[in-house]
Amino acid sequence: MPKSSPGFTLVEVSVLLLAVSLMLATSVKAAEWVDASKVRSLAQEFREGPMIVESYRAAHRALPGDDPAAGRFAGMTTAPGAGDGVVDGGWNSDAAADESFLLWQHLRAAGLAGGPVEQEGDGRLLARPPRNAFGGRIGIQGGRSGPIADFVAAQLMCSARIPARAAERVDRLLDDGIPDRGRMRAAAESGEPAPFRPGVSAARAAVAHYAEGDLVTLCLAF
């Protein structure tokens, strides 16, 4: 009489299914935890950005980037700003002469911001503009000609490459959760945003709602 082929018992199958279910549940919870951690990081950046700008202004009587006496700082690659009370240049500028780029040099030199730096040939340090938890650029500019249409303020802080659902959660934490009104607004992206040039680049319309799967640039007026 032939031997019966070995197989799993009902108990063994149940244990296996339970183990798989626990693994899936754990991975989902881990993903949710990572997402929540990134949302908290984004929200904290938006809280701290205006605070450190105001701290600089209180200490030095000028906006960072626009400070005409920024040469006072040693050890950093800094240049003076125009001193006209406006942070000129686009929020994600890569042009070293733009005040929106110099802003990070001034903040870093004043000890108000951290982030990556590079060693220059003369031994001084060059601060690189920071990036958020999703890898997108963070920046600050004067808000009279910003990247989102019909959205003006004294200053704008923007952060790019944010998944729409994460942006919505940050918006709910800091404002009203509606992307086309209030002090926090969002514009859709189709790729890494090109350097914005106030008065030259076209502003994008704010999205009417946060859609699953979209990426947005999120901006805060202050």
DSSP state of 204: B
Residue 160 host element (H or E): strand 155-163
Taking the C-alpha atoms of residue 148 and residue 116, their distance in angstroms, rounded to an integer, is 28
**In a 3-state reduction of DSSP, which class is residue 20?**
helix
Longest dimension (CA), the chain: 98
126 neighbors 145 (Cβ within 8 angstroms): no
Taking the C-alpha atoms of residue 196 and residue 199, their distance in angstroms, rounded to an integer, is 9
The whole model's pTM is what? 0.83
Query: CA 67, 69, 74, 76 torsion: positive or negative?
Result: positive
Single-letter amino acid, residue 64: P
Query: CA 184, 187, 193, 198 torsion: positive or negative?
Result: negative
pLDDT tens across the length of the chain (222 residues): 555 555 657 665 565 655 565 565 454 444 444 489 999 999 999 999 999 999 999 999 999 999 999 989 988 888 999 999 999 999 999 999 999 999 999 999 999 998 888 888 777 888 889 999 999 999 999 999 999 999 999 999 999 999 999 999 999 999 999 999 999 999 999 888 999 999 999 999 999 999 999 999 999 999
List the structure tokens of 128.
Answer: 């690189």
